[in-house]
Amino acid sequence: MTMTTETLIHKRYLPFTWSQLGEHFAPVKGAESAAWLEAQFGHYRKSATLYAALCGEGEPLDLPIHKVKAQAQIEKDERFWVAATLMAFYHHPERQQMLMMLLRHALGDAPQWDGPSTWEASFTDTTKLYFEANLPSPSAYRSALKRDVGAAHLIPYVLRAAKVTANLEGPTHVDALLLDPTTGCNVLFEAKVLSDCSYQVSFDAVRNQLARNIDAMLEPAAPAGPLSGRRPERSAFVLLTPQLFKDRPRPRLYGFLMRDYWDHPDSTPLPLRRRWQLTRR
């Protein structure tokens, strides 16, 4: 399969061109732009190429699961799902109207932060959509973990490694970030298809993926770069899942976690944060 910047990535699973997809990666300072952007495409190219080898432009054949699982990854690939979903709204001819509909459906009739009181005032025509956005790990959390990693883990090799590791939690790569740089309002999207949320990170056995994303969301933005306008006090978090697991959340850990955070707002998974709240939708 020959791919150019204007090649359609996949007519069903990501019906946009490589050029359009490339608009949604926040540049990294010091990275050579063409090579860096190509690196971002690597995962998408691999999935699309494997699927093309399986069925070309036609429909997949009915084959035993062990013969198609690896090549059909695109059908359950979270990066494709979140990109296709959000780009459908962002690249719609009526972008603003579609984004407002999305935000109201996911987060309610109006934002809950101190600041712009409507979605229209929060997300203007300067709004950007980024995939795999890089958010720094909270410095207060990293310092506390370094001081007392023994309270967060129990495996000897992990505790030994902590002694010689300077940074015990790296930046968080959120699946998608909707950001208006003029108002600072932003929405983080974490996407799950069949996978579950991680229940621990390398040096903290009691820190789950949802808590980590929310903690990073509440941290001040980097002082420079395309994400520098993000205001943590004007942030919202959306967990994007198939309707199947919204209707039947119990088979997934995130189903229990989200319900617990809603029902017990004082039982925070972020002991260093004084104020945050999840609103049920």
Distance CA 234, CA 116 (A): 9
The residue among 27 and 16 whose pLDDT is bigger is 16
Please determine, for residue 57, whether its predicted confidence score (pLDDT) is greater than 90. Answer: no
Q: Are residues 67 and 85 in the same domain?
A: no
The mean pLDDT value for 20-27 works out to 92
User: Is residue 21 a part of any domain in this protein?
Assistant: yes
Q: Are 14 and 84 in contact (CB under 8 A)?
A: yes
- Distance from C-alpha of 63 to C-alpha of 69, rounded to nearest angstrom: 10
Q: In the listed set 50, 74, 98, which residue is the last one of a domain according to the structure?
A: 74
Same domain, 97 and 166: yes
- 59 in a structural domain: yes
Q: Are residues 68 and 84 in the same domain?
A: no
Same-domain check for residues 48 and 97:
no
CA dihedral over 237, 241, 243, 249, signed as positive or negative: negative
Q: Per the confidence metrics, is the pTM higher than 0.75?
A: yes
Average pLDDT over residues 47-59: 91
Which range, 211-215, 265-269, 277-281, has the best average confidence (pLDDT)? 211-215
Is the domain of 84 the same as that of 20?
no
Q: Which of 58, 74, 90 marks a domain boundary?
A: 74
Do 88 and 220 lie in a common domain?
A: yes
Report the pLDDT value the prediction gives residue 31, as an integer from 0 to 100: 58
Query: Rounded CA gap, 148 and 143, in Å?
Result: 9
The whole-number pLDDT of residue 37 equals 82
Per-residue pLDDT at 17 exceeds 60 = yes
Claim to verify: residue 219 and residue 98 sit in the same structural domain:
yes
Which residue type is seen at 102?
A: L
Q: Is residue 274 in some structural domain?
A: no
The structure tokens 């732009």 sit at 33
Which amino acid belongs to residue 74?
I
> Is residue 65 in a domain?
yes
pLDDT of residue 185: 98
Are residues 254 and 149 part of one domain? yes
In a domain, 271, yes or no: no
pLDDT of residue 3: 56
Identify the pLDDT of residue 281. Answer: 56
DSSP 8-state symbol, 236: E
Domain count, the chain: 2
Last residue of a domain, one of 31, 53, 74: 74
Helices H, strands E: what count in the chain? 11, 6
* In a shared domain, residues 155 and 255: yes
Strands 128-135 and 14-17: unpaired
pLDDT at residue 268, rounded to an integer? 63
**111 and 142 co-located in one domain:** yes
Residue 84 has pLDDT above 60, yes or no: yes
Mean pLDDT within 34-61: 90
Reading the block at residue 5, the tokens are 């910047």
Lookup: tokens for 48:
């699309």
State the Cα–Cα distance between residues 205 and 149, nearest whole angstrom.
10
Query: What pLDDT band is residue 1 in, cutting at 50, 70 and 90?
Result: very low
- What pLDDT shows up at residue 260? 85
66 and 23 belong to one structural domain: yes
In a domain, 275, yes or no: no
277 lies in some domain: no
- For residues 187 and 243, state if they share a domain: yes
Question: Of residues 79 and 37, which shows the higher confidence score?
Answer: 79
pLDDT in tens, 89-141: 999 999 999 999 999 999 999 999 988 999 999 999 999 999 999 999 999 99
Residue 278 lies in a domain: no
Q: What is the pLDDT of residues 238-260, one digit of tens each?
A: 999 999 999 999 999 999 998 88
N-to-C CA span, the chain = 42
Mean pLDDT of the chain: 91
pLDDT average, residue stretch 58-67 = 90
Domain boundaries, position 49: 8-74
**pLDDT, tens digit (0-9, with 9 covering 90-100), for 198-215:** 998 899 999 999 999 999
